[in-house]
Chains A and B, each alone.
Chain A
């Protein structure tokens, strides 16, 4: 572990990213304490610029506190990012493992199925799914999970393909272990590092997808999200720039930090590759 942290630390960007990400987590965790009550409450006069009348980041067209919206929105964004990634990982890892370990006909079947999803532009598919199943937090998470599992399946399949011929797998087979225990107990732990890196990047893209959906008015109308804040501020941007700029910054910082962390993880988990890239600095 200490070794891991030493390697992670070598990438300065990743350390900054981790710090920012922890800040966002802290904000999400502290939201009910910092801004008690609902973020939808009309707390002040409409269109107050930042800093006026105790409104740190100003108010929106109904007098709602933008800062409260961002803090409460962080909870939703992180939750959507995490939950949809877990589901996408579940689907992607299982299908990738089946395809990579069994090979042959099963591989063909699973990969054609995966390609079917990859040929449809993911954002368009997500919009379609949410629009059909009416916008709610469940349909948004489901739509994001459905459009983001194919890359996982492909990565996992590739890892499994290269690992399944190794001696330790053959040894396990000779020992008479069941296929399931070989896949879960022997191959999967060795394929974890690319999955972890991919997962951190998937959280970032899930947050972006959720924000884009909310921006287009396809978010859950009962939940305050960053995308909603920007979407509702877009048309009044000449009147109240703070309504879209601050939530935009929140998305930017979160997604950037997740990407930096992802890169750091990649370096730390795969030191040889990092050195080849000259990323060991």
Chain B
């Protein structure tokens, strides 16, 4: 193994992406083609992750590579139904408080030791509880975790919590080996540098700044799988070089932000490539104009409604993202559970926006400017700069002058976290359920000086109450009632100006089969992926 240290990659980009044909994980025989053993899959990773130990690092690139080596108890279909992975079956008590998982037998770690219930309890109660803030927030609801036998795990929660199962995908709670971490500092244990999981691929080689190679795990629990011998992730920092590598056939797969949106139409027209924007249903990133409600006049709902009306989301989706993703209609993405399609933002309407601003008492001055706002440009690359420029022009049409400020990724996160901004753009993952990924942005109990909390400072007791109801309700019907009500209030109040349900293009060589079979797309274990001859 050659792990040479080079500086940690910057860019805490949460991006990563995937998708093509929707097959259930079981349908390994893609379109009647017999899977073929052998071959090396060459792919691309941007940017290079600092480490591959999922949990310790949860950035987009790690979430793509690590699930080939680490598995969760479950994974999810595009409609977010659970699929068994390391758990073969599970039972849930009617009040959604007790969850019992039956574990798969004959599963071994890459170092040959057997995988047992002890590992599951360690992973959930100790490892992720300590290293992953998102997991900690949910797993602290667990009252007891026990293993009645080596292949059964029983969790009892302090309260009903219906979305609990969604936390058992590899990207949220990958199973790690107790014998490699217990009693050590989880962040610096030797296993962090040389990951050991139960997945179909083992860690083989990592040349910093060059490539990461994973090799086939010959003792994988699924007989005859994986089909591929190796997966190589090349680190290519320049977007045009990535495009060339894909066009020339040097790599067979790109995902996430590898290929810029404006290059996607050209990739679609190439006969040997397949472009898909599916496989992001579990994450469902939603982008919005982030407003700081403490800055006048953004505390006024009429002003926020007017800003929302002034923005043409179709233009953004078609012209800036070239049809990758679609206009947002609601604080909940349409691929997230409990989305209510009957609750939608009003359409682009400049006249109405002007009327609302007039009614709110903001008269235009001689230059036609009603008021000026600063806008912190999201420093995640060109398309986001173009978005800021578009927002400035479209808000200027209703008399709002937007003054752009540029910054770097670190300062952006710090300033959002410290509430030192007036407006910005943000995008946040929803993780399948509004309780997991939507609630955090709108409830007043989560107004914190931390990025990706309710940094805007929106506070509405009714919304707090409805999210609390939905969180602890034990049936889906009760939760739907609460979530529908909350979507209605939020669409009326527009606490943040939702822009797009984002998607990322997964572009693959047509010989590569079964790339996207679940709601996690390229973030799955690739046991079923094969290169047809």
Q: Do A and B bind each other?
A: yes
A62–B385 contact, CB under 8 A? no
**Given the interface contacts A40-B389, A62-B386, A235-B239, does A222 sit within 8 Å of B404 by beta carbon?**
yes
What would be 10 A-B contacts, judged by CB atoms less than 8 Å apart?
Answer: A40-B389, A46-B319, A61-B386, A134-B407, A217-B385, A221-B385, A221-B389, A221-B405, A235-B239, A235-B262
**Given the interface contacts A235-B260, A235-B262, A239-B262, does A62 sit within 8 Å of B319 by beta carbon?**
yes
Contact of A239 among B266, B319, B392 (CB under 8 A): B266
Tell me how far the C-beta of B384 lies from the nearest C-beta in chain A, rounded to whole angstroms.
11
Residues of B near A131 (CB, < 8 A) are: 408
B390 interface hit (Cβ, 8 Å): yes
Tell me how far the C-beta of B85 lies from the nearest C-beta in chain A, rounded to whole angstroms.
39
Interface string of A27-63 (1 = CB under 8 A from B): 0000000000010111000100000000000000111
Tell me how far the C-beta of B348 lies from the nearest C-beta in chain A, rounded to whole angstroms.
14
B377 interface hit (Cβ, 8 Å): yes
A218 interface hit (Cβ, 8 Å): yes
User: Which residues of B305-353 have CB atoms within 8 Å of chain A's CB atoms?
Assistant: 319-320
Interface string of A224-256 (1 = CB under 8 A from B): 000000001001101100000000000000000
B403 interface hit (Cβ, 8 Å): yes
A276 to B392, alpha carbons, bound, how many Å?
Answer: 57
B contact residues, range: 20 to 34
The main secondary structure of chain A at its interface with chain B is loop
B406 interface hit (Cβ, 8 Å): yes
B21 interface hit (Cβ, 8 Å): no
Tell me how far the C-beta of A227 lies from the nearest C-beta in chain B, rounded to whole angstroms.
13
A113 to B62, alpha carbons, bound, how many Å?
Answer: 48
Contact of B393 among A41, A218, A232, A239 (CB under 8 A): A41
A236–B262 contact, CB under 8 A? yes
A62 to B389, alpha carbons, bound, how many Å?
Answer: 9
B403–A222 contact, CB under 8 A? yes
A135 interface hit (Cβ, 8 Å): yes
Tell me how far the C-beta of B171 lies from the nearest C-beta in chain A, rounded to whole angstroms.
29
A61–B403 contact, CB under 8 A? no
B388–A221 contact, CB under 8 A? yes
B405–A134 contact, CB under 8 A? yes
A217–B406 contact, CB under 8 A? yes
Residues of B near A134 (CB, < 8 A) are: 405-407
B240 interface hit (Cβ, 8 Å): yes
Tell me how far the C-beta of B42 lies from the nearest C-beta in chain A, rounded to whole angstroms.
23
Closest residue on chain B to residue A240 by CB atoms: B262
B388–A232 contact, CB under 8 A? no
Residues of A near B462 (CB, < 8 A) are: none
B386–A232 contact, CB under 8 A? yes
Residues of B near A41 (CB, < 8 A) are: 393
| Residue among A221, A236, A238 with most chain B CB within 10 A | A221
Apart from A41-B393, A62-B389, A236-B262, what 16 extra A-B contacts exist at CB < 8 Å?
A: A42-B390, A42-B393, A61-B320, A62-B319, A62-B386, A63-B319, A134-B405, A217-B385, A221-B388, A221-B406, A222-B403, A232-B385, A235-B239, A235-B262, A238-B266, A239-B262
A217 to B396, alpha carbons, bound, how many Å?
Answer: 23
A235–B382 contact, CB under 8 A? yes
Question: Which of A's residues lie within 8 Å of B, judged by CB?
Answer: 38, 40-42, 46, 61-63, 131, 134-135, 217-218, 221-222, 232, 235-236, 238-239
Tell me how far the C-beta of A44 lies from the nearest C-beta in chain B, rounded to whole angstroms.
12
Residues of B near A238 (CB, < 8 A) are: 240, 266
B319–A221 contact, CB under 8 A? no
Residues of A near B239 (CB, < 8 A) are: 235
User: Which residues of B379-428 have CB atoms within 8 Å of chain A's CB atoms?
Assistant: 382, 385-386, 388-390, 392-393, 396, 403-408
Closest residue on chain B to residue A45 by CB atoms: B319
A61 to B390, alpha carbons, bound, how many Å?
Answer: 11
Tell me how far the C-beta of B82 lies from the nearest C-beta in chain A, rounded to whole angstroms.
40
| Residue among B260, B266, B377, B404 with most chain A CB within 10 A | B404
Contact of A61 among B262, B404, B408 (CB under 8 A): B262
Residues of A near B382 (CB, < 8 A) are: 232, 235
Tell me how far the C-beta of B403 lies from the nearest C-beta in chain A, rounded to whole angstroms.
6
Residues of B near A217 (CB, < 8 A) are: 385, 406
Residues of B near A232 (CB, < 8 A) are: 382, 385-386
| Residue among B266, B382, B408 with most chain A CB within 10 A | B382
A62 to B312, alpha carbons, bound, how many Å?
Answer: 13
Residues of A near B240 (CB, < 8 A) are: 235, 238
Residues of A near B262 (CB, < 8 A) are: 61, 235-236, 239
B386–A221 contact, CB under 8 A? no
A221–B393 contact, CB under 8 A? no
Tell me how far the C-beta of A133 lies from the nearest C-beta in chain B, rounded to whole angstroms.
12
Closest residue on chain B to residue A40 by CB atoms: B393
Tell me how far the C-beta of B247 lies from the nearest C-beta in chain A, rounded to whole angstroms.
11
6 closest residue pairs by CB, A with B: A221-B404, A135-B406, A221-B406, A222-B404, A46-B319, A236-B262
